[in-house]
A and B are shown apart, each in its own frame.
Chain A
Amino acid sequence: MGPIHLFDIASQQARWLTVRQTAIATNISNANTPGFAALDVHPFQDVMNRTQLTMAATNPGHIALGPTDLPSNAAKASDAWEVTRSGNSVSLEQEMMKAGDVNRSFSLNTGVVKAFNRMLLASVKS
């Protein structure tokens, strides 16, 4: 039986989701900033596909640039619903839907992790 990467993948997705939540928070707080272009993160599948070895941060002063950090992930969203006269492309409705999406996925993620952990515990205990 091969190794099970579920916890790995789950924690990676959880990190991706929290980064996405940060992007959404940035968009919403800048909903009235002139000239602000809405941000979004790359889809999780892309992040998974280009995951590779990253440089180790051996000193607190090192800047960690992992695949799930915001700066390397924030991309200009091209699918903005509307651009206002001031050049702001944040749509609150769209951001709310994205936030709901993140919430749902995170809930599913933690649910799966919880179930898997229970399974592991059951097999260990018996």
Chain B
Amino acid sequence: MIDPLQASLRIAGAGLEAQSTRLRVVSENLANAESTGPTPGADPYSRKTITFEGEMNRALGVQLVHVKDIGTDRAPFRVEHDPGNPAADQDGFVKLPNVNVLMEMADMREANRSYEANLQVVKQTRDLVSMTIDLLKSQS
């Protein structure tokens, strides 16, 4: 196992990467919150979901987090009556994505919070390292 402080930095780095991927998925969902299908009656954009999993890194001897899967939400689509829409079927119904903006916002906040927590770990680990290095100096 490498030095625990180095390991902490690597772990927090993996966490940062995972959370930023999550943020990317959230922004994809938000950007496509109103994306209808390309042809009349076609399925619209379906919400993407992301899951994480811890994986043992043998070289480091520690568990790093990584993205397990980016899947799609199988929740039913919203249906609106809008005959003028190009994606409307013959009855005038349009299928809209199953994206709930409020939920995405909550998810974004959570991703943000976790990202900040990981960043805090990086900062604190750096503090510990510099405290150790400071043992060498200021011995006037």
Give residues in A with beta carbon < 8 Å to B: 14-15, 17-19, 21-22, 24-26, 28-34, 36, 64, 69-71, 92, 95-96, 99, 102-103, 106-107, 110, 113-114, 117-118, 121
Contacts A18-B8, A22-B8 known; A96 to B61 CB distance under 8 Å? no
Give residues in B with beta carbon < 8 Å to A: 1, 3-5, 7-9, 11-12, 14-15, 18-19, 22, 51-54, 61-65, 110, 113-114, 117-118, 120-121, 124-125, 127-128, 131-132, 134-135, 138-139
Docked Cα-Cα span, A24 to B7, in Å, equals 11
Contacts A29-B18, A33-B53 known; A15 to B4 CB distance under 8 Å? yes
- Residue in chain A with minimal CB distance to B8: A25
- Residue in chain A with minimal CB distance to B137: A114
Nearest CB of B to A75, in Å: 15
Contact indicator B114/A18 (Cβ below 8 Å)? no
